[in-house]
Structure formats: structure tokens, C-alpha cells
Amino acid sequence: MAARRILLGVTGGIAAYKSAELVRQLKKAGHEVRVVMTRGAEAFVTPLTFQALSGEPVRTSLLDPEAEAGMGHIELAKWADQVVIAPASADFIARLAQGMADDLLTTVCCATEAPIAVVPAMNQAMWSNARTQRNIRLLEEDPQIELWGPDQGAQACGDTGPGRMLEPEAIFGLIDRGSEGVLSGKTVVITAGPTREPIDPVRYISNHSSGKMGYALASAASKAGARVILVSGPVALAPPIGVEVRQVLTAEDMLREASNAVDEGCDLFIATAAVADYRPETCAGDKIKKSSEAMALSLVRNPDTLATIAGRDDAPFTVGFAAETTDVASYAIDKMQRKKLNMIVANDVSAPGLGFNSDNNAVTVFWPGGQTSIGPNSKTNIARELVAMISEHLDQAAR
């Protein structure tokens, strides 16, 4: 594992004592570690403990005159390859979710471009509280932030349930996967979002795809060690950290850019985009005016990006998506067989609160000779499970 610069944030909670062991493991593996503690964290573990283990001064104050003479919080933000907040208290999660910068740790999180891992630790009732869960949903939508945990089990207060911080060994393993992830060394091309097929300079044909599932997969694949190229239709989403995004508008644009990306070398192609099946035969040069009660529009079929990539002589391992409203399984299996796909991920977009424009989803994955279901869950969590599952099948196909 290549040495990395890990900035560990420690917030107030009894689990802070476990973070000392995490620092020891990271240093033993050859990483550079710097620690930032909140005032609450100092009530449980002294800065001297982390200084002795990390071999670096511990920062505790945003307004430290000596450190801030050189804009210390910005230096820390730029220094880090990875930020890990462990433990992350309910209070810290609330402040981070709202974009606050009222202490050194939240300020560094606002200033850094490094990925941020948040490892929750709190009482089970605090974790289940509606306000905490609202803040968690906000963090899940942030492409820079990943949530690790929480675990379940006995808690220091005597309660049992979700809210325990992951053990140091588990956190160390999650940090480790960036360089030794399940897709390490692989190139992944993903399509996402809708396409827009112009009728005239003002109007177009499109669909309800938000691109959230594709963007979540791109982020998960990148965090699993892959080089990721995301060919995206028009969406209102921030580019995932560490992912190359190529913007397209129409189905023909999608095919061209996806083909170019595969030409550059591709191990895995995942087609989540909701590409319009048809486009207007002609696009009017000027805005069409209302002149009658009805208007006929002649449509022609668009090129099939998924089938084209899967049908190449040098086709990568190809995974399709099927958004259906009825007979989900039969339509998905038929699509997989017709287009010669390695796997297909199907979901019922008519289910309330799932699919298009939702943060949640429930899918069934099919491959020749097998199937499994995932969810309902957040698209972020489903993406992680899909990446792990797809990587297993990719490895099997390579043997």
C-alpha cells in the first residue's frame, strides 16, 4: 500500500480512545498522520497521546496564533490525501452537514479537496433521531463525503443498537482500499443521466432520469481504486471526486463519447444512462409557433449505445440497466440476452419513492444463471454493493 497523508479528525465521544489504535496502525503501515481534535475530544483523550503516536504536533484550535501565522488550517487542508473523522459525533455531523466552519476541524473540511470519510459514533437513540438522519442524508448527497458505519452492538451507555464506531481494523481496511481496492488498476466507463433530443431551439424530448445512480456508481468505482470516465447527460449534480466527466447532450453524442472512452482502453462498461429511444426526424431551425390544435412529430430511432459497446469484438465486461414499470424480471432478462450483456441491473421505476429523481432505490441484478436483490437503500449504499458484486463477476470472467 502506497504511503498516504491521512488527516484524522477526532471529535467528542468515548470512542475517541479507539482512534489512538487507528493512528498506531496507520503509522505502522508507513502513512503520515496528522491529528486535529475538537474541544470535546480533549475531554476523553489528551492531545499528547496522539502526538506520541503520530510523531506530529496535534492541532486543537482554529485561532492558534503560531499555526495561523502561516494559514495553518489551509496548509492542513492542502496537505491531506484523505480526511477521516473518527469518531464523528452527532454534533459534528450536524455542523458538517450545514457547511459550518466554526472550529478548526469543520474549517479544514470546508477547505480541503481531499475525500472525507465520516465514521459516526453515538448513542443508538441519537443515531435514530430524525434530525440526525436528515443530516446523514445531506452528507450522503455530497460527492466528497463517504459514510463508514456505524456498527451495531453494545454501547458504553448500556444501550444496544446502531451507533457504535467501526473498529480501528475496519477503518484501516477502508482507508487501504483506495490503493488496493477491488477495482484497483481497472478503467471503468459509466454512462449516466438522460439525453435531450431537440425539437427546435427551445424544446426537446427527454425523460425523468436524475443521473444519481450513475454518479453514485462512478464515485463508488473510483473509491474502489478504478480510473473512472463518466459520460454524462445533462444533470444537476456535482462531478464525483476523482472522476473524469465528459458531458454530452443527445443519444448520438452519448454513443460517440462512450465509444471514444472505450477505444482508449476499458475493462468495465456500465450503462446507467436513460438514453432516449427516439429523436425528432428533423430539428426546426427556429422556434415552432402555435398554429393549430394538434401537431404531428415524426420520430426516428436513436443508436443503441449499450448494444453497440456490448457487440464490439473487443467488448469490455458490460453491465446494463433496465428501468421498467411492469414485468421487470422478464424484460430485464430479455434485454440482457438480446444485447449480449454480462449482467443487468433492473428496477421498478413505478415504485413510490424509488428510482427516477429519488435518493433511494431497490434493484435486482441478473446474470446468466443467477440473480440477487439489493435494497431498498440509498443509491450511495446500493452503488457500493453493486461495485463489489460486479468486481467479483469481472474477476471470474478474467480467469
pLDDT tens for each residue of 309-346: 999 999 999 999 998 889 999 999 999 999 999 999 99
Q: How many CB atoms lie within 10 A of CB 155?
A: 21
* β-strand pairing of 244-247 with 32-37: unpaired
The pTM score is 0.61
**Strand 187-192 relative to strand 227-232, pairing:** parallel
pLDDT digits (tens, 9 = 90+) for 276-319: 999 999 999 999 898 888 888 999 999 999 999 999 999 999 99
pLDDT tens digits, one per residue of 339-373: 999 999 998 887 877 767 688 888 999 999 999 99
Residue 67's pLDDT band, with cuts at 50, 70 and 90, is low
Of 239, 195, 200, 198, nearest to 216 by C-alpha is 239
- Which pLDDT does position 355 carry in this prediction? 65
Quickly count: other Cβ atoms within 10 Å of residue 334's Cβ.
13
Instruction: Give the span between the Cα atoms of 93 and 82, in whole angstroms.
Output: 18
One-letter amino acid of 2: A
| Res. 179: pLDDT tops 50 | no
Average per-residue pLDDT for the chain: 90
Best CA proximity match to 213, nearest among 192, 188, 232, 184: 192
Rounded to whole angstroms, how far apart are CA atoms 310 and 320?
9
Active site residues: 157
Strands of the sheet containing 32-37, edge to edge, are 32-37, 5-10, 82-88, 116-120, 145-147
Closest CA to 105 of 73, 150, 146: 73
CA–CA separation, 379 and 359 (whole Å): 6
Looking only at the bridges linking them, the beta strands covering 360-367 and 343-348 are antiparallel
Per residue, the 3-state secondary structure of the chain, as one string, reads CCCCEEEEEECCCCCHHHHHHHHHHHHHCCCEEEEEECCCHHHCCCHHHHHHHHCCCCECCCCCHHHHCCCHHHHHHHHCCEEEEEEECHHHHHHHHCCCCCCHHHHHHHHCCCCEEEEECCCHHHHHCHHHHHHHHHHHCCCCEEECCCEEEECCCCCEEEEECCCHHHHHHHHHHHHHCCCCCCEEEEEECECCEECCCCCEECCCCCCHHHHHHHHHHHHCCCEEEEEECCCCCCCCCCCEEEECCCHHHHHHHHHHHHHCCCCEEEECCECCCEEECCCCCCCCCCCCCCCCCCEEECCCHHHHHHCCCCCCEEEEEEEECCCHHHHHHHHHHHCCCCEEEEEECCCCCCCCCCCEEEEEEEECCEEEEEEEEEHHHHHHHHHHHHHHHHHHHHC
pLDDT in tens, 109-141: 999 999 999 999 999 999 999 999 999 999 988
Confidence (pLDDT) at 176: 66
Asked whether the predicted pLDDT for residue 1 surpasses 70, the reply is no
What was the pLDDT predicted at 170? 83
- Among all chains, which residue has been given the C-alpha cell 480510473? 227
d(CA 228, CA 218): 6
**Domains (range + CATH), the chain:** 5-180 (3.40.50.1950), 187-398 (3.40.50.10300)
Radius of gyration for the chain, computed over Cα atoms and rounded to the nearest angstrom = 24
As given in the structure block, the three cell numbers for residue 270 are 456500465
